[in-house]
Structures are given as C-alpha cells and as structure tokens.
Structure 1
Amino acid sequence: MGSTALHGGLAVSPWLERWTRTLPAGQRVLDLACGSGRHLRWLTVQGQRLTGVDRDAAALADLASACPQAELITADIESGPWPLEGRSFDVVIVTHYLWRPLLPTILACVAANGRLIYETFAIGNQTVGKPSNPDFLLRPGELLDAVRGAGAGWRVLGYEDGTLESPLRFVQRIAAVREAEPGASASDQPPRYPL
C-alpha cells in the first residue's frame, strides 16, 4: 500500500489509499483542489464516479485525457461561488489544500454515510519547507476540532498529527464518516469500513 502506486509521476497519498482501498465501485468521489489529479487517476482504476475541482484549467485539461469519464470543474473556490451547490458525495478528498472559510462547506457536501479524507500541512512545516505561511498550516488538533464541531453524526475513523519523512513535512490528516440520521432505514445504515 502507499508510495508504490504512482499516477502522473506522483505517489498516491498512503492516507488516501488506506481509506479508499475497500470502497465499492461506483462511489461519488469529489477531489477538491485536485491539481494534476494523482488521486483521481488512481480512483479511476477502482471504478469510482469522479468529480475534480481546481482553479488550474491547464492541469484539468491534461487530466481530462487521463480520466475522460471524470467531471472536471475549473473554479476558484476561494474567491468565486461554490461550484457544487446542493450536491453531496460519498467520498470527499482534500490533500495539500487549506482554505479555512471552506471547512464547513466541505463537511456539508459529504453525503450521509459518506467519508471525508483530508490531509494537509500543519504548524511546524515552516521549519522544513513550504508551505510556511501560517494561513496554510493547520493548528494543533484543527482538523479534529472542525469535524467534531460540525455537529452530531460524525464518527472519526482515523486521525494523525505529526511528521512524515521523504521529504520531511508536518501534516494533519483525518478520515471520518458522516453517519446516517437516527431512525434511517436499514439500507441507509453505515457501510462497514475495514481498517
């Protein structure tokens, strides 16, 4: 698992791979700030229904040939309107991206029984490289607090706050499920996610 899965010359995040490897095919997956699409390329092979959002039109144009079935949306989600209004996804992925005002919106687009997989840089990274601006570095426990503060119904599957090697970097990452409302039918009950 992990760094051996290369797509577009970049390794798939081991955190993302861990929390998506057992997903059944056909899940609606959003990769927010998807960049060159290393994760979309990997999830294409798994048969997922993919949506990627990024402000870099050139990166998305390159990705379109590798993932022709993916819905690719060019949007500046920091200064423009939210391009996914009223939509929800079975899996929402965010890696190496942080814009704090969007955290509630990101959490809100996770469907009932859906999963959030988030990994980005944390305080301390400024001592080893970029990003070094504190606006783009998570404070201690910030991802965990954001999920817990989103209201009832969120279950944290995994959370880490520390350093990773090769290259050395400080990160936080979380995997969480937005559980169905109490009283939902049996078909709406949370799927099992093997660890």
Structure 2
Amino acid sequence: MESYEHPDDQFARDARMPLEPQEHIDQLKHLRAYFSDGPRRILDLGCGAGRLLIPLRRDGHHVVGLDHDSRALNWVAEGCGHRDDLVQQDVRDQSLPLPEGPFDAALLLGNTLMELVCPNAFVNLLHRLSKCLSRQGVLIIEDIPGLYWPLLSTGQWGDGLAEGVRMVWSERDTVFALREGAEANNDGPLHPDEPHRRLWTESLLSQTLGQAGWASIQAEDPLVRILRPDYG
C-alpha cells in the first residue's frame, strides 16, 4: 500500500494533517471531552487519512468515515486494520444519500468546510444531515471565521509567496486557491481547473445556517463549533 509519508505531496500532507500539530492535539482533546459521556455514533465527513476517525474509534466510538478519495480511505483501513464503515463518496455530491443514521454527531473538520465553495452546497448538506442525525445530533465544524479572518487582518494570510505556497484570491469573492511547486510563481487569476476554497465570513455562515434551518452554538475555542438543526 502506498505510504503517505511524502513530504512533497500536498494531498498526502493535507489528508494526514490539515491543521497545525498543536491545533490537531487541541481539537482532538475538545472532541474527546464532548463525547466523554459514553460511546457515540459519529459520521466523519471528509475523514482524510483518519486523523480523527482512528483515535475516536480507539476510544470506543462507532465512527463511519466518508471521503471522496480512495487513497485516503486506504490509509484509514491500514490504520484500523479493516475497511468496515468506510465510504467513498464526495460530500459535495448532492445526488447520493449520506450513510444511514441515526448519528449522534457529524464531523466536518480539517478545513473541509472551505471546500464547500458554493453556499447552496452547504445548505444541501445540512438538509441531508438533518435526516441522518438523532434528535439531539450535532454537526461539529471549525469556526472558520474565528480561526482565519484574524490571520488575514494581521497580514499573516494574503497575496504573495510564503514558504513555497502562493495564495491567490478571487477578485469578486472570498474564494482562493493555493499554488505550490512550479505554480507557486504564478500569481495569475484563478482558473476553473484548480481546487478552490472559501474563506467563510461570519455573516455568510450565519445566513447559510439560517437558510438551512440550523443554529450555531459559538464554542469557547474556534477549533470546535457546534451546529444543530433549529427545531424551534
């Protein structure tokens, strides 16, 4: 099986550790505290190489992993010793149902929310999640506005080249692409065949949640933000 220990492979790096190492440690600690009441049934959307899925399974939780990439799922299977409850599916594919619930929680972590560039895609995902979560079920995301807009405002994110990676922004929206390698010297406009990401603003996130009939509970730490359907 192909290893993900490839320092020059951006996909392998992101699948294994999309956050800074300390952020990962802190995020996992928050999740373990949130799920401390007992074994939970969890849906990990965009599970990557099993950064959260594997330790949560070891803690006794029933975690179903979903990712669009077979390579990432192979790494999860290697880490778990089996392929049970691993689903190859793109979370953005509106034509496919999510795995059958009910789930106590769904995770959309590791900056996966940024890959939902179109707000309507997030609305659709929230509608589908409402059907497979338990009555008390939640969706856990990173607080993208709280995590990354402060970095942008202080100049730590923005146009230009840093550590071999260039961030290129759309001229009309808070959408960007990351370019590295030979493309890092290309500061031209976004083109449709490169992966785009959205740096969600608080106003757009709140508007999208309201449109889907969901509510947000602002967590103390931006690494964990709790969302749930607003049943009134």
Report the TM range for the smaller structure's normalisation.
0.5 to 0.7
1:138 to 194, 199, 216: 199
Structure 1: 5+ residue runs without aligned partners? 1-7, 162-171, 183-195
* TM-score in terms of structure 2 length: 0.56
The answer to whether the Cα contact below 8 Å between 2:65 and 2:87 also exists between their aligned partners in 1 is yes
| Letter of the structure 2 residue corresponding to residue 49 of structure 1 | H
Counterparts of residues 137-176 of structure 1 (less than 5 Å): 137-141=198-202, 142-151=204-213, 154-158=215-219, 174-176=225-227
2:118 counterpart of 1:56 = no
TM-superposed CA distance for 1:140, in Å, is: 1.9
1:115 aligns with 2:138: yes
Question: For the Cα contact (< 8 Å) 2:216–2:225, is it kept in 1?
Answer: no
The letter for the 2-side match of 1:146 is: T
Task: Note the C-alpha offset of 1:156.
Answer: 1.0
Deviations 1:161-183 (A, max 9, x none): 7xxxxxxxxxx86222446x57x
Could you say which residue in structure 2 is the equivalent of 1:38?
51
Q: Secondary structure at the match of 1:43?
A: helix
Counterparts of 1:130 and 1:94, CA distance in 2:
25
Aligned equivalents of 1:19, 1:146: Cα separation in 2: 24
**Could you tell me how far 1:93 is from its partner in structure 2?**
0.9
Matched with 1:17 is 29
Contact between 2:16 and 2:49, CA under 8 Å: does it hold in 1?
A: no
Structure 1 residues 136 and 40: CA distance shift in structure 2, 3 A: same
1:89 aligned residue: 103
Q: Give distance in 1, aligned partners of 2:210 and 2:29.
A: 23
Larger Rg: 2
The aligned counterpart of 2:184 is: none
Q: Does 1:26 align with 2:43?
A: no
Q: Name the CA distance, whole Å, in 2 between partners of 1:175 and 1:131.
A: 28
Partner of 2:124: 105
Task: Measure, in 2, the Cα distance between the counterparts of 1:130 and 1:84.
Answer: 34
Aligned-pair distance for 1:82?
A: 2.6
CA deviations over 1:88-143 (Å, ceiling 9, x no partner)? 42111112122134312332315221121112575634446566551412232033
Structure 2: state its 5+ residue gaps: 1-14, 170-174, 176-195
The structure in which a higher percent of residues are strand is 1
Higher deviation after alignment, 65-74 or 117-126: 117-126
Secondary structure class of the residue paired with 2:52: helix
- CA distance in 2 between counterparts of 1:131 and 1:44 reads 35
1:158 Cα shift?
A: 1.7
Paired residues of 2:43 and 2:63 also in contact (CA < 8 A): yes
